[in-house]
Amino acid sequence: MSGAAQNIIEVRGLRTQFGAQVVHDGLDLDVRRGEVLGVVGGSGTGKSVLLRTIIGLNRPAAGSVRVLGVDMLRAPRAERARVERSWGVLFQNGALFSSLTVQQNVEAPLREARDLGLDDADIAELARLRIAMAGLAPGAAAKMPAELSGGMRKRAGLARALALDPQILFLDEPTAGLDPIGAAAFDQLIGRLQRALGLTVFMVTHDLDSLNAVCDRIAVLAERRVLAVGTMEEMLAVDHPWVREYFHGPRARAALRAG
């Protein structure tokens, strides 16, 4: 299989900007089918902006974004909608509907997908399954988001992201705000789900433990582009000031020892 055939996401020549502020300029990135790719970079390098651009929430000034072989910036709306059904997204704080229970939040994308022909019983059962897959107890289904801890909100958001059985999972700082034990448990959950479901995972993170625990490759954003892509070991050989400081610091050494 050719390299292009293995890529589930291809970004070429991406330029994103907000007014006069240029965030990315000439950014290229490939995400391989079935891998966990961690995206890291300093503050303001546009990690979350890149994620939001790939999923269509930001319109770039130039470049192309292909997902599953479809040009997401130029394809007809119906074709884009078909591809969008192939991914799920977990935003930083879960982004749950505050007026809905966890069960109702997870049911929401299933109810929007009317072409699936699911009745209320099917939708409820699938939602309960996704809630269990995300590691939440059955009793969490009836809770409101305000009644959940930060870790539980992230798991509820993950359950909703999994609702339509996606091929691709986008995670935006999934362990931010969690204590070390909760973060490690969430990393383990992502790893189990990725292996069991054959997911491709695009994960924006600053957490060195997450990079070491679950990522197959790491993409470093710097100087408005992807500066380097490779394994944790390959990052250690990159000769760039920010990369050296990030991957050779005491926290990186501790993460590697733990790994």
Interval 74-97: pLDDT, tens: 999 999 999 999 999 999 877 899
8 A C-beta contact, residue 88 and residue 164: yes
What pLDDT sits at residue 5?
A: 57
What pLDDT sits at residue 117?
A: 78
What pLDDT sits at residue 1?
A: 44
The residue ranges of every structural domain in the chain are 95-165
* Residue of 94, 106, 103 lying closest to 163 (CA atoms): 106
The single-letter DSSP state of residue 122 is H
What pLDDT sits at residue 3?
A: 53
What own/partner pairs with CB < 8 Å and gap ≥ 24 does 111-116 have?
113/85, 113/164
What pLDDT sits at residue 254?
A: 61
pLDDT digits (tens, 9 = 90+) for 94-124: 789 999 999 999 999 999 887 777 899 999 9
For the chain, list residues with pLDDT below 70: 1-5, 250-259
Q: Which two tokens stand for residue 72?
A: 């997401």
What pLDDT sits at residue 250?
A: 65
* Residue of 85, 87, 141, 89 lying closest to 113 (CA atoms): 85
